[in-house]
Amino acid sequence: MIEDYMQHLSQNKIKLVYNPELLLKLKFLPQLEFVHFYDLHPYATEEVLYSYQQVYDHGFAAFVNAMTTTLAGAMYWSSHGPATLQVIKELLDDGRKLRMKSLNNYRAKFGLDRYTDFIDMTGDASLAKQLEELYGHVDAVEWFAGTIVEKQTTSTVTTGSLYSIKGMLENPLSRQHSWKPSTFGGQVGFDIVKSASLKNLFCNNMKPGECQNIAFSLPKGKDKSKTEL
């Protein structure tokens, strides 16, 4: 699942392969940006939280197919509900205490043009006015808030994908005390983990022909090279 997740977030056309053996002796510093980026996702789960009724009513295959074919909600400033508002407040407070850089500074670090004003950042006059009242200058807009209000997802994909990959590499599985047969009940379990995938997790619990649209996929092209991480 780590491999599938990294592949999806990176937006790379090369296939990324997660190989913990290559990471066992490496040391990674915690990625604050990854923690913040991970909590950008809006949620609206009240109707399914702690409830399996939809699975009972429609069947597991239909339920999974609905999840994999329904477009996700836009990661935008007006899409967060009660379930995540408190999380956002805490992340903003955390970013301010740690003096994280502004969105424009992050864009400059990754070779992206700095936004010149609030309209340039948002493309929305009403939102631009609200931000100007709050921040005063476009360079003061925080990274976390900026990735939610900006008119395009350029910063989110460019900066977020890198931090997401590094965040995945910090997973405890990539440590010597975890990545060994005894952690998974012996060599047989260890081999199953090494060959597992997000797709298999679902397909092994569905009837033949029911498992569709489960795995993340690469854009079609001639480049089939692999990069191990």
* Pair 143, 189: CB distance under 8 Å: no
Q: 116 phi and psi, to 5 degrees? A: -85, -30
DSSP H or E segment with residue 227? strand 226-228
Give domain status of residue 60, yes or no: no
Give domain status of residue 130, yes or no: no
pLDDT of residue 88: 80
Q: What letter represents residue 49's amino acid?
A: L
pLDDT of residue 122: 92
pLDDT of residue 185: 93
pLDDT of residue 158: 64
pLDDT of residue 226: 45
Q: What letter represents residue 24's amino acid?
A: L
**Which tokens belong to 77?**
């400033």
* Pair 146, 121: CB distance under 8 Å: yes
Give domain status of residue 93, yes or no: no
pLDDT of residue 190: 92
Domain count, the chain: 1
Instruction: Write out the residue range of the structural domain in which residue 23 sits.
Output: 1-28+170-229
pLDDT of residue 224: 46
Give domain status of residue 105, yes or no: no
**Which tokens belong to 82?**
């009660």
Q: 166-180: string of b/e by CB count within 10 Å (b at 16+)?
A: bbbbbeeebeeeebe
pLDDT of residue 202: 87
pLDDT of residue 229: 40
pLDDT of residue 154: 60
**Which tokens belong to 99?**
């003096």
From the CB of residue 103, how many other CB atoms can be counted at a distance below 10 Å? 27
Give domain status of residue 140, yes or no: no
- To 10 degrees, the CA torsion angle through 184, 190, 192, 198? 70
* Pair 9, 209: CB distance under 8 Å: no
Q: What string of pLDDT tens digits covers the 229 residues of the chain?
A: 777 777 776 666 677 777 888 877 776 665 677 767 666 555 555 666 677 788 888 888 888 888 777 766 666 677 766 777 788 888 889 889 989 899 999 889 888 899 999 999 999 999 999 999 999 999 999 988 888 888 865 656 666 667 777 777 777 777 888 899 999 999 999 998 888 888 888 888 888 888 877 766 555 654 444 444 4
DSSP H or E segment with residue 15? strand 15-17
pLDDT of residue 143: 87
